[in-house]
Amino acid sequence: MAGEYSATVSSRGLDQAPPSSGLRRLVVVLLNLLLVGSLVLFFALPGPQERSYPQREPVRFWHMWSGEWKDVVDGIAAEFNKSQDKYEVIALSVPGASADYKFLLAVAGGDPPDCMAQWNQVIPAWADQGMLVPLDTLMSPAEWQDFQASAYPVALKIGCYKGHLYGVTTGINIWGCYYNPAHLRDAGLDPDNFPTDLDEVWAWGQKLNRYDENGNLTRMGFLPGWCQMYVPVFGGSFYDPGADQVTIYTPANLHALTWLADKHKELGYDKVVRFQSMLNTGGFSTEWPFISGQYSITVDGQWRVEQLAKYAPDLKYRTAPIPPPKGGKPLAGWSNGNFMIIPKGARHVAGAWEFIKFWSGVENPERAAKFYTRGGWLPLSPKIARAPVYQEYLRKYPQFKTFLDVLPSENIQTSAPVPYQVFLGDMIGRADDFAMRGTLAPAQALKDLERNVAQEIERRRRFGL
Amino acid sequence: MQSNRTGYAFISPWLLGFLIFTVFPFVASIYLSFCRYDIISPPAWVGTANYEELLAKDPRLWKALWNTLYYASVAVPLGIVAAFALALLLNLDVKGMSVYRTIFFLPNIVPAVATSIVFVWILNPQIGLVNGLLRHIGVEGPAWLNDTKWAMRSLIMMSLWGVGGSVIIYLAGLKDIPASLYEAAVVDGAGTWDRVRHVTIPMMTPVIFFNLIMGIIGAFQYFTQAFIMTAGGPEDSTLFYALYLFYRAWRYLDMGYASAMAWVLFVVVTTVTAVVFRTHRKWVHYGG
């Protein structure tokens, strides 16, 4: 071996002169400097998070907010840390796209955060797998009773699974109509008399549509879509709480999907697709097409009120609940929310629970009211809504009241509380897509959906899930 | 012996990483494919249920497999032809050729995620560059990624963006063809096309073969662009096998099923590669 090696070296030496010793030394010195420099930089840079109160019990809190929202969340954590001297909440923003995987791996690895703010459809699945601490077990029976009596019904629907509370809401989302009065007046419509019938809103939308010379839509008057939102408005539902069963192919659900698909057909499937793909929907608040005037009437969530105040303070707009069609249900729609969970295996459950009570207002509704107003969030309970800070917010932004008025409605539905909720949501979205593009008749889309879900239920049964 | 130990010591970080992060998951996935496993609970043995499910009861899997096969059978040959043609052009003796070569290679150093996001805008039906150019010649382009019929074609077209890497390999191969073969062909009266047809292409077949195999394997693992640009839509038209596998694993926490899917993919890729390998004696020429 050694002989071969030296022979190679000597043969190289014949046709290639070795580098001078001075050059070699220079290269070695430079490499060493690079190595030392990298090490110094590595250790000199501050760690990702400095503890402000190292003597306190740390409460590691993960959330998915970024940008302007992250500042709000960091502010709430800082206020909690100031409010007491036992715990320190260390907030960490985890990118939304991978937050669930990171959380799952952290739980599986035995090192989960102490609490997490979620908004994905995770409670039924994670609770079913025994990953979450039932939060009602952290309350006394009287507290739990009081919680159930005081929270908005939708907060309980979002947070509960099989009789236990796994998530406490820190902000409920309700959708309603936003409309631009200037557009309406230009089209000869009276913004003071917004329709109370969904078909009438559609008729208004037709008068508000604008097209370019090629016949492409440049402004959408009103585009109804997203069947999960409209099914409750038509009196339908994807879940029967009495029977604890998913319901799909029902007359009301079919009516809703057919109505929506018909409207897309009327506008032209291709025209709708082209219009929607033109919109800036990168997720930044300022990109909302309603701000740029591309929608005259649109259905969106209450948090837009706060964003409009920040980014389009001069835009004149009004809000209204989604009107039902004839035979439909008023003050209806789909809702979700931000909720706090505590994973099993969390090291500082007590601290996490203190933080959740602090933010959500379980403990002190008046104090928590200001947190809700900072993010434009709907509160956990009417007690918070009645707080002076919240009332002041409503006076400042009267458009927000529309959503607060819808909040107690029993016609507001949430996603079916079944362990395969994510699968169900994806499949409903898929059926929606097939129907809105005209590929499948609404009845067929719902039948296919029903078959897919039945197969999944059967599979879960076979696998003992 | 001593020198071997030193060598192993030097490569031990890589070896350990390979054993822990590649070999172990690879072997574990065989076991997991026969289990129900959601990451949190311990795996529970279910026998061949996952395989039965995916082979007989999951139409989306077959849709995903079909999409992947379609992509592989169109994008890979198209990429080979485009890269080879480009390499021939970039092999010409023209002033400033290194600049052209650099230009064609540049897309390869842009991360796939960034490229995907840029292409979402380029292919925007209303305000995108492609339809803007088409409009100039009086053609109203399709809705590309938003159109069920065009989404897959869009991804195939986009795959040509990254042929720069293959071009470099073809260029190296072209440089390796002995000049004597061309000289002999000229003496025999061969024209330009004849030289390409009877000298260049046969001499390049080992390189084409290499690119074909790598292209097939890459196509079966196609994920990033579809994940970012279409998420499998519209209407499952770009639901690739690897993407569906990812959804099954991480969205539905069905690791056992995803492991079974991965092994089916492994068998499919191995079979296709083996079939291509069997044909190579007939058309790949090792010489020169």
> Chain A within 8 Å of B44 (Cβ-Cβ)?
yes
Cα of B133 vs its chain's centroid, Å: 28
Q: Is the pLDDT of residue B155 over 90?
A: yes
Helix (H, G, I), strand (E, B) or coil at A140: coil
C-alpha to C-alpha distance for A53 and A57, rounded to whole angstroms: 9
> Chain B within 8 Å of A459 (Cβ-Cβ)?
yes
Q: Is the pLDDT of residue B264 over 50?
A: yes
| Nearest-neighbour CA in chain A from B250: distance (Å) | 7
CATH of domain B59-283: 1.10.3720.10
C-alpha to C-alpha distance for A123 and A161, rounded to whole angstroms: 7
Query: Measuring CA to CA, which residue among A445, A426, A427 is closest to residue A435?
Result: A445
Mean pLDDT of chain B: 92
- For residue B144, the number of C-alpha atoms closer than 13 Å in the C-beta half-sphere is 28
C-alpha to C-alpha distance for A292 and B208, rounded to whole angstroms: 51
Query: Measuring CA to CA, which residue among B111, B206, B213, B124 is closest to residue B161?
Result: B111
Contacts across the A-B interface (CB distance below 8 Å): 70
DSSP sequence for A95-117? -HHHHHHHHHHHHHTT---SEEE
- Tell me the pLDDT tens digit for each residue of A269-310: 888 888 888 776 555 667 788 998 999 999 999 999 988 998
Residue A127 CB partners (closer than 8 Å, separation 6+) = A134, A161, A162, A164, A166
For chain B, the structural domain boundaries read: 59-283
Q: What type of residue sits at position B88?
A: L
What's phi and psi for A288, nearest 5 deg?
-60, 125
What are chain A's domains?
Answer: 57-174+336-413 (3.40.190.10), 175-332+420-462 (3.40.190.10)
Contact B202, B115 (CB under 8 A): no
> Chain B within 8 Å of A105 (Cβ-Cβ)?
yes
C-alpha to C-alpha distance for A104 and B283, rounded to whole angstroms: 50
Q: How many degrees, rounded to 5, is the angle at CA A156 between CA A285 and CA A257? A: 65
C-alpha to C-alpha distance for A201 and A297, rounded to whole angstroms: 8
**Residue A69 pLDDT grade (very low, low, confident, very high; cuts 50, 70, 90):** confident
Q: Which of residues 414-453 of A touch B (CB under 8 A)?
A: 420, 422-423, 426, 430, 433-434, 437, 439
Q: What type of residue sits at position A83?
A: S
> Chain A within 8 Å of B272 (Cβ-Cβ)?
no
- Tell me the pLDDT tens digit for each residue of B36-75: 998 888 899 999 999 998 988 888 999 999 999 999 999 9
Q: Which two tokens stand for residue B244?
A: 């569906």
Q: Are strands A239-240 and A245-246 parallel, antiparallel or unpaired?
A: antiparallel
Q: Is the pLDDT of residue A232 over 70?
A: yes
Q: Name the one residue in this structure whose structure tokens are 């037709």.
A: A206
C-alpha to C-alpha distance for A125 and A438, rounded to whole angstroms: 32
Positive/negative CA dihedral, A26, A28, A30, A33: negative
Q: Name the one residue in this structure whose structure tokens are 């409503």.
A: A394
- Tell me the pLDDT tens digit for each residue of A129-150: 889 999 999 999 999 999 999 9
Q: Is the pLDDT of residue A17 over 60?
A: no
Mean pLDDT of chain A: 90
B278: left (phi over 0), alpha (psi -120 to 50) or beta: alpha
C-alpha to C-alpha distance for B193 and B200, rounded to whole angstroms: 10
Residue from B2, B37, B40 whose CB has the most chain A CBs within 10 Å, to mutate: B40
A1·B3 Cβ contact <8 A: yes
Q: How many degrees, rounded to 5, is the angle at CA B87 between CA B86 and CA B88? A: 90
Helix (H, G, I), strand (E, B) or coil at A63: strand
Of B39, B41, B124, the CB nearest to A277: B124
Q: What is the ipTM of this complex?
A: 0.83
Residue A250 CB partners (closer than 8 Å, separation 6+) = A236, A237
**Residue A11 pLDDT grade (very low, low, confident, very high; cuts 50, 70, 90):** very low
B127·A278 Cβ contact <8 A: yes
* Residue B22 DSSP symbol: I
Q: Is the pLDDT of residue B101 over 80?
A: yes
